[in-house]
Amino acid sequence: MTDPKWWGWGGAERRGAVAAEALEMLTELLGPPRRSPPVALDQVRVADPAPLPDSIRDVIGSDHVLTGREDRIRHATGKSYPDLVRLRSGEIEDAPDAVVEPGCHDEVAAVLDACTRENVAVVPFGGGTSVVGGVDPARGSFERVIALDLGRMRSAGVDRRSLTARLGPGLRGPDAERALGAAGVTLGHFPQSFEHATIGGFAATRSAGQASSGYGRFDRMVTAVRLAAPAGELRTIDTPHSAAGPALRELIVGSEGVLGVITEVTACVRPRPEERRYEAWIAPEFASGVEIVRELAQQRVLPDVVRLSDRNETRVSLALSGMGGAVRRLLDGYLRLRRQARGCILITGWEGTSEAVGLRRALATRALRSGGAVALGARPGRSWYRGRFEGPYLRDELLDLSYMVETLETAHTWTRLGELYHAVSGAIRDALQAQGTPGLVFAHVSHAYPDGASLYFTVLAAQRVGHELEQWRAVKRAASEAIVRTGGTITHHHAIGRDHRPYIRDEIGELGVEAIAAVKARLDPAGIMNPGKLLA
Ligand SMILES: Cc1cc2nc3c(=O)[nH]c(=O)nc-3n(C[C@H](O)[C@H](O)[C@H](O)COP(=O)(O)OP(=O)(O)OC[C@H]3O[C@@H](n4cnc5c(N)ncnc54)[C@H](O)[C@@H]3O)c2cc1C
């Protein structure tokens, strides 16, 4: 792979293709495309770095302190829509003064020590795929800020008997799976950002992968963690469970770099699946599809992957798949015949031994059929599986055509999921309408539990040229306020970062915020760790 695009997703050779049918649909619904390529790297405006104290170079060696323009720009943002807008226009707000690359726990500890003494803010940086401003080089009250890139910390060791693996924080998804694959095991954690996000990032944000219904979210996989905090080391022991007071592990997982740096993660693994079976179904409509997923979850027969698209997402994904001509007419005809013309796509996936896949699939199939779902077979399921990491490549193409592509997520109980769905999609639509850029809002359910599920929204609209960030802010505010009003969580798996910070009090209350702040004050007395994130 060539170097990842500094302004987008993945290597420059990987281009997503916008199918002709999709472009026609976007033109009709949102207005015609307008080409707007990213600026050249040398046009990005970035201030000269503030000089770093020698003590940081002394503890880690000059080779691992990068102050080049490109390195700083590559560590200046995450990969959210507003981040890409800023990068593509060359108007990033700030960049770290240096990128520091420790190679082990002790080097991390030594860097944190030097930064505490010298008053330098530290932003832990994994894959830099945050979509909530989590790696923003915010300075807070500090004059200097470094990005602490953990990419050199890529150790991996498997305890085959206990089915656990001890993993370095800098391992990216594919590296981790390669190392685990050599021992015949897998984490089963496949978020859409899998290709670039890291183990440390997964733990620090409580990430949820596409197969979370079967394998569990990442925070559920973690059995032990090691944290280098400015005040010292915090380590939990590797046992299946402990009743030794409140779980420190839980405090570290999801701490988003504000308490310290996660330098090692021990996680549960599973034998690599002998069989993977992916299928597609059509539910009569979104509400009845939601009922099917609820039944699957409450009867404890959830497939490992379950993903129900609403009507708009079903239409858009069919258009984007480029499935045209005779095949499309056949599918449409078949669905009309089965009275499913308003149907919603439901992807199911099972992984494991052939016998377990067969048994679990049989149980789930009964619930799917009794809820009125119609089987479309394995071909569209396999096609979803093949394309499951393609979304962000396509986002780059749509940005090139001046379309806004924003995604956000939340979760609620089954009782209030429908209310949340309508409140958030309505609020986003109104916010776009008010700006003269009516948009397309769609959603899917993809992480299901016996008591509720997540909702993942995608927003497409023509960009307000010259006012892209203002347009995004209005949408984000409207969606977040609707989530808070409806009592949903401000984030099911993207974390708080910078963008959700105004809403954390609504979720955990003043005392909750103060309790986390008190822990931070003990672990990071100088407040150098990731200023401006998670806590106000
Ligand atoms: C296209 C796209 C698709 C995505 N899909 C998903 C998805 O399906 N599921 C999902 O859960 N998320 C998804 N995300 C969000 C993002 O990928 C996750 O939050 C991921 O866990 C971040 O990992 P990272 O290594 O890139 O972390 P970074 O972006 O580098 O960091 C994220 C936060 O964690 C902190 N951090 C990173 N490493 C450490 C460490 N070792 N110690 C302490 N703090 C640390 C950072 O300071 C920051 O606050 C997606 C993002 C994009 C751009």
Q: State residue 329's pLDDT score.
A: 63
Provide the β-strand partners of residue 362. none
Q: State residue 339's pLDDT score.
A: 67
Is 170 near ligand 1, meaning CB less than 6 Å away? no
Is 122 near ligand 1, meaning CB less than 6 Å away? no
Q: State residue 317's pLDDT score.
A: 84
Is 205 near ligand 1, meaning CB less than 6 Å away? yes
208 CA closest ligand 1 atom index? 11
124 CA closest ligand 1 atom index? 47
- The rounded Å distance from CA 145 to ligand 1 centre is 20
- Which pair of structure tokens corresponds to residue 84? 């890409």
- The rounded Å distance from CA 147 to ligand 1 centre is 14
Closest by alpha carbon to 275, among 163, 161, 382, 158?
382
Contact 185, 272 (CB under 8 A): yes
Nearest CA to ligand 1 atom 41: 200
Reported as a single tens digit per residue, the pLDDT across 175-219 is 999 999 999 999 999 999 999 999 999 999 999 999 999 999 999
Q: State residue 319's pLDDT score.
A: 81
- The 8 Å CB, 24+ separation contacts for 333-339 are 335/282, 335/374, 338/282, 338/374, 339/284
Averages of pLDDT over runs of 10 residues in the chain (536 residues) are 84 81 91 95 94 93 96 98 98 96 98 98 98 96 97 98 98 98 98 98 98 96 98 96 94 98 98 97 96 98 98 88 61 69 92 97 97 94 93 94 97 98 98 97 97 98 97 98 98 98 97 97 98 92
pTM: 0.96
Q: State residue 376's pLDDT score.
A: 93
Q: Which residues fall within 8 angstroms of residue 320, CB to CB, at 6 or more apart?
A: 18, 19, 22, 394
- The rounded Å distance from CA 473 to ligand 1 centre is 21
Nearest CA to ligand 1 atom 14: 193
Q: State residue 417's pLDDT score.
A: 98
- The rounded Å distance from CA 492 to ligand 1 centre is 13
Closest by alpha carbon to 529, among 110, 95, 230?
230
Contact 428, 459 (CB under 8 A): yes
- The rounded Å distance from CA 432 to ligand 1 centre is 28
395 CA closest ligand 1 atom index? 1
What is the rounded distance in angstroms from the CA atom of residue 103 to the CA atom of residue 95? Answer: 22
- The rounded Å distance from CA 438 to ligand 1 centre is 30
Is 201 near ligand 1, meaning CB less than 6 Å away? yes
The pairing of strands 185-186 and 270-271 is antiparallel
E strand or H helix at 327, and its extent?
A: helix 325-337
Q: State residue 311's pLDDT score.
A: 95
Reported as a single tens digit per residue, the pLDDT across 314-369 is 998 888 766 655 556 666 776 766 766 779 999 999 999 999 999 999 999 999 99
Is 253 near ligand 1, meaning CB less than 6 Å away? no
